[in-house]
Amino acid sequence: MPSQASHAVSLTRYLIEEQRAGRINAELRQLIAVVARACTSISIAVSKGALGGVLGDAGTGNVQGEAQKKLDVLSNDILLEANAWGGHLAACASEEMDHSQPIPDAYPRGGFLLLFDPLDGSSNIDVNVSVGTIFSVLRCPEGVECAGDEHFLQPGREQVAAGYCIYGPSTMLVLTTGHGTHAFTLDREQGAFVLTQRDMRIPEQTREFAINVSNQRHWEPAMQAYVADLLAGSQGPRGKDFNMRWIASMVADVHRILTRGGIFIYPWDRKEPGKPGKLRLMYEANPMALLVEQAGGAASTGRGRILDLAPTQLHQRVPVFLGSKQEVAAAERYHQSADA
Ligand code: P6P
């Protein structure tokens, strides 16, 4: 029985149409196709679970000293090999790689910089909860033969493409090249991603928030006041009841928000002095912010637009408030009042 998707638009066809329309060039089309193929390989490895011998810790640490899962390392290698095989379309920077030296990739043929978190939420792997790959594409500055960290330090608004692949009950690739946010579902029978939702839109209002409330005592007062009012629901100043979700896998939480609205928050907390948040700007916050804004949502640090931030370090962290535009604005008002 041919798959139901056989009549639909494949990712390959979608990308060719975008190139024909002049919205992307051939090299960016190839780079996105290479990343998608790598995500298909990662999806296969993740879906094997215990049968694939890839669960558990790798016994190594990433550039931030965090324990790596075997699948973190495997996913990282799959993406690097895919880019190399694809002809070094981009110089790469990853959450898992140490970049103390200029990134020694061959000069990227397509003139792009690819940043990625190869397996976000990997602590969920061993308990069979959805995880994902997040990627961001920037232009490599003219004339740069060997990209160094400094060449990646561009504001998120400079991204030419961003996306994630969520390895859940189905594997989905969600992508923007600056012309809307679109969702593709992996048809395992065809081995291809198929367009299943064009132009995702986030409702401007919501009754659902996502945050790790166990950090409440570490938040700044404005944040404590904002969440207290969410929890007060219709008996408090917000005048409506809210629901809460927290999957602790950013890709899964953001996918829910792109699909039905909500606000996702990982605020600054005083748990780790000197760290302005947990999530990384370059390969978590920026790509998710572009996807969310392209779907009609908002993405803020609580005090300003994430995509306008001027990065200073490749692995820097940032507070994240993203999702339904009016709810993000409400959260910002609590911070503005506190700062006044
Ligand atoms: P916590 C996963 O480790 C991650 O980077 C994001 O995917 C997720 O949103 C967040 O951290 C979860 O953090 O503190 O709730 O475990």
φ and ψ at residue 248, rounded to 5 degrees: 65, 30
* pLDDT of 117 strictly over 70: yes
Binding site membership of 261 for ligand 1 (Cβ less than 6 Å): no
Q: How far apart are CA 322 and CA 299, in angstroms?
A: 4
In a domain, 314, yes or no: yes
Q: Calculate mean pLDDT across residues 26-44.
A: 96
CATH number of residue 61's parent domain: 3.30.540.10
Binding site membership of 69 for ligand 1 (Cβ less than 6 Å): no
pLDDT of residue 100: 64
Out of 1-5, 102-106, 173-177, 215-219, least confident range = 1-5
Domain boundary among 175, 197, 219: 197
Query: Do the annotations mark residue 130 as ligand-binding?
Result: no
In a domain, 202, yes or no: no
Nearest Cα residue to atom 9 of ligand 1: 250
Q: Are 306 and 290 in contact (CB under 8 A)?
A: no
In a domain, 77, yes or no: yes
Query: Do the annotations mark residue 212 as ligand-binding?
Result: yes
Ligand 1 centre to CA of 320 (Å) is 12
Ligand 1 centre to CA of 211 (Å) is 10
In a domain, 26, yes or no: yes
pLDDT of residue 105: 63
**Average of per-residue pLDDT values in the chain:** 92
Number of domains comprising the chain: 2
In a domain, 203, yes or no: no
Q: How far apart are CA 280 and CA 257, in angstroms?
A: 19
**Residues 47, 184 share a domain:** yes
pLDDT of residue 2: 47
**Residues 17, 68 share a domain:** yes
pLDDT-derived band of residue 102, with 50, 70 and 90 as boundaries?
A: low
Q: Calculate mean pLDDT across residues 218-232.
A: 97
In a domain, 306, yes or no: yes
Q: Encoding tokens for residue 52? A: 């694939």
Secondary structure E strands in the chain = 57-61, 67-69, 90-94, 112-120, 131-139, 161-167, 171-176, 181-187, 192-197, 208-210, 243-244, 263-266, 298-300, 320-323
39-93 pLDDT per residue, tens? 999 999 999 988 887 787 888 887 777 778 788 888 999 998 898 888 888 888 8
Query: Do the annotations mark residue 122 as ligand-binding?
Result: yes
In ligand 1, the atom with minimum distance to the C-alpha of 123 is 3
Domain boundary among 135, 168, 197: 197
The pLDDT > 70 percentage for the chain reads 96
pLDDT-derived band of residue 7, with 50, 70 and 90 as boundaries?
A: low
Mutate-to-test residue for ligand 1 from 96, 120, 129, 282, highest number of ligand atoms within 8 A of CB: 120
**Residues 12, 157 share a domain:** yes
Binding site membership of 278 for ligand 1 (Cβ less than 6 Å): yes
**Residues 312, 182 share a domain:** no
Q: Calculate mean pLDDT across residues 8-18.
A: 96
In this structure, the chain runs to a length of 340
**Residues 181, 50 share a domain:** yes
* pLDDT of 14 strictly over 70: yes
**Residues 170, 47 share a domain:** yes
**Residues 164, 26 share a domain:** yes
Ligand 1 centre to CA of 283 (Å) is 14
**Residues 170, 66 share a domain:** yes
122-132 pLDDT per residue, tens? 889 889 999 99
Selected residue with higher pLDDT from 283 and 103 = 283
273-325 pLDDT per residue, tens? 788 889 999 999 999 999 999 999 999 999 999 999 999 999 999 999 999 99
**Residues 168, 65 share a domain:** yes
Q: What is the residue range of 128's domain?
A: 2-197
Binding site membership of 64 for ligand 1 (Cβ less than 6 Å): no
Ligand 1 centre to CA of 250 (Å) is 6
The pLDDT > 90 percentage for the chain reads 73
Domain boundary among 164, 197, 230: 197
**Residues 328, 262 share a domain:** yes
CATH number of residue 294's parent domain: 3.40.190.80
* pLDDT of 4 strictly over 60: no
Q: Are 86 and 30 in contact (CB under 8 A)?
A: yes
pLDDT of residue 56: 79
In ligand 1, the atom with minimum distance to the C-alpha of 246 is 15
**Residues 167, 192 share a domain:** yes
In a domain, 226, yes or no: yes
pLDDT of residue 1: 46
Query: Do the annotations mark residue 11 as ligand-binding?
Result: no
In a domain, 11, yes or no: yes
In ligand 1, the atom with minimum distance to the C-alpha of 121 is 2
pTM of the model: 0.95
**Residues 304, 177 share a domain:** no
What SS3 state is found at 227? Answer: helix
Binding site membership of 212 for ligand 1 (Cβ less than 6 Å): yes
pLDDT-derived band of residue 101, with 50, 70 and 90 as boundaries?
A: low
Selected residue with higher pLDDT from 3 and 84 = 84
